[in-house]
Amino acid sequence: MLLIHCPYCEETLPEAEFAYAGEAHIDRPADPSALSDEEWRDYLFIRSNVKGPHFERWRHVHGCARFFNAVRDTVSDKFMTTYKAGDPRPDLTAEEAAQ
């Protein structure tokens, strides 16, 4: 079982307490009705599907109930870091150098 660090509880806890919630840092358009069908489709459905470090949302659903962000390597399934919702994307150079 994966262990995930919750940035709110400040504890590393079993995956069973968490739920995956899709790619992170996707802003809802401020004025949806101004968008073309293609732009709205891209916002709703088109995701980056990266191989390597993936920025994604998780929710500590059986715990503090908060949503937060994580960077997970989709090749190794290792969590590189987690951070609070609303915080900017972390600089990954240190983590990447370590790998």
Partner 1 sequence: MTTQKHNDTDRSAVMIRIEELVPQARFSLRVRSERARVLSESLGLALPVRIGSVERKGEVEALCLGPDEWCVLAPDKRRDALIEASRAAYAKIPHAFCDVSDREVVLRLSGPEALTALTTGIARDIESMEVGSAARTAFDTATVILWRDDENSFRMDVWRSFLPHVRALLDLAQAEFAAGL
Q: How far is the CB of 74 from partner 1 (least distance, A)?
A: 23
Residue 19 three-state SS: strand
* Of residues 79, 70, 83, the one with CA closest to residue 22: 70
Span near partner 1 by CB under 8 A; candidates 10-18, 25-33, 37-45, 69-77: 10-18
**Residues numbered 31-90 forming contacts with partner 1, rule: CB under 8 A:** 62-66
- Distance, in Å, from the CA atom of 37 to the CA atom of 46, rounded to the nearest integer, reads 13
Q: Can residue 91 be called a binding residue for partner 1 (CB under 8 A)?
A: no
List interacting residues with Zn ion (CB under 5 A): 6, 8-9, 60, 63-64
Q: How far is the CB of 30 from partner 1 (least distance, A)?
A: 25
The radius of gyration of the chain's CA atoms, rounded to the nearest angstrom, is 15
